[in-house]
Amino acid sequence: MTIALPKSVLRFAQNAESKATFMLFDDYFKHYQAQNVKGKGNLEYMRLREDGTPISFSEKEAQMNSALKREILRAAGISDMEAFPLATWSTHPLISWATFAIVGALVDMVLPDTIIDEIGIYTDIRNIGFGDSAAFDIEPRDLFAVSRHGAGQRTTEVHKQHTGQVTILPENRQLTTGVDLYRVLAGKESLAKYVAKVIKSFEFQISLDAYTAFLNLMEALDATATTGLRVSGYTQDELTRLGETVESWNGGREAVIFGTRRALVNILPTDANYRYDLDSDFMKMGYVGEAFGFSVMRLAQKANWRTPFGTLIDNDNIYLISPGAQKLIKLVFEGSTLSNVSGVWENADLSQTSTMMKRWGTGVATSAVAGIIQL
């Protein structure tokens, strides 16, 4: 299996060994996802032993930390680690810079694919350079009117459509953690696991920002009878009507039922005499995979870290969207991940901090139609 490394990573990884390190991390992170995130167990792992048996996660972590250590030394321009004691190397300013330059490159490599899995169904993702802004063209969804007219008239009413535009400006976000480079270099702390948690932390906040923009858009839909895009209370008839409305106004593009597992459990036939067995999709997944001609997709619930054992995503909403139409939400990444590491002797307790900085912005920019059913 071949991995297409981003251009920014290819510029940073100047030789085959460096590129191999980044490819190893892609495999390691997929294994990490499969072990720690429900629904990621179907990810492919590249590397096997020569006899074809799989490599365990603990072995991959040890190999990854060793490869990262070599890459740090390469980036810092150090060829002989034995020239000084480990404690002396841990105070080298280029060691700090190289460590978090590599961490940032790994974040930039893995994060976009991870985010797409979470929010790609309703979010369009774009990367821009530092100092740029992203402008999205909004194409009209209307068609030109065809009218009945007399044979002796040259023209009818003139129609012209205009393309709108929405600009999204990314904002800087920061993540600060305590680090101990001595323990990292000594192999007492896993740098690979640290990078994986940094990626998951950014992923959580980015997906939350995208979902919040999506939810605000859906909550703003007019509930009056003139649109009918917001429905109070689930019925099979209203679900079918709303799905057909969304499809027809999105140029015939298929509508998808979308929500948390707790919300999707309500998507059942009106007839109370239905039956399901233990091998059915409903029992295996907690919801049906297809209902009334519409595909059903689950929105992964997220923990609300500010409330003990609370969750963030509303379980009382079911959405109908057309993923094939113009995406409702736009997500823009600006530049690459930057880092700021404090000096070794800067703090009285000899601790260090690392601040990872990433710039992104979300916004609504679409001409597509969507609907919501409030259970």
Indicate left, alpha or beta for 93 from its phi (over 0: left) and psi (-120 to 50: alpha).
Answer: alpha
Q: Is 77 left (phi over 0), alpha (psi -120 to 50) or beta?
A: left
pLDDT level of residue 227 (50, 70, 90 thresholds): confident
Query: Among 99-108, 257-266, 282-291, where is mean pLDDT lowest?
Result: 282-291
The residue count for the chain? 375
- Closest to 60 (Cα-Cα) out of 12, 87, 23: 23
Please work out, in degrees rounded to the nearest 5, the angle formed at the alpha carbon of residue 159 by the alpha carbons of 158 and 162: 140
User: Three-state DSSP class for 124?
Assistant: strand
Q: Measured between alpha carbons, how far is 118 from 206 in angstroms, rounded to an integer?
A: 10
Write the pLDDT tens digit of every residue in 174-217.
Answer: 999 887 777 777 778 888 888 888 998 999 999 999 999 998 89
- What does the angle CA 260 – CA 265 – CA 269 come to, to the nearest 5 degrees? 135
- In this predicted structure, the answer to whether residue 349 has a pLDDT above a threshold of 90 is no
Q: Is the pTM of this model over 0.85?
A: no
pLDDT at 242 over 90: yes
CA quadruple 298, 259, 312, 214: dihedral, nearest 10: 110
Quote the pLDDT of residue 38: 58
- What is the per-residue pLDDT across 270-304, written as a single tens digit (0 to 9) for each? 776 777 777 777 777 878 888 888 999 998 888 88
pLDDT band at 1 (very low <50, low <70, confident <90, very high): very low
Q: Which residue type sits at 11? A: R
Mean residue pLDDT of the chain comes to 83
pLDDT for position 23: 84
pLDDT range class, residue 351, cuts 50, 70, 90? confident
> Token match 């323990």: residue?
183
pLDDT band for position 47 (50/70/90)?
low
CA-nearest of 55, 91, 250, 118 to 181 is 91
Note the pLDDT of residue 54: 78
Mean pLDDT calculated for residue range 153-168: 86
Q: Which of 258, 212, 221 is nearest to 362 (CA)?
A: 212
Region of 39 (left: φ > 0; alpha: ψ -120 to 50; beta: rest) is: left
Is 155 buried (19+), middle (13-18) or exposed (0-12) by CB count in 10 A?
A: exposed
pLDDT at 294: 92
- 192 vs 10, more confident: 192
Tokens 């190289």, residue located = 98
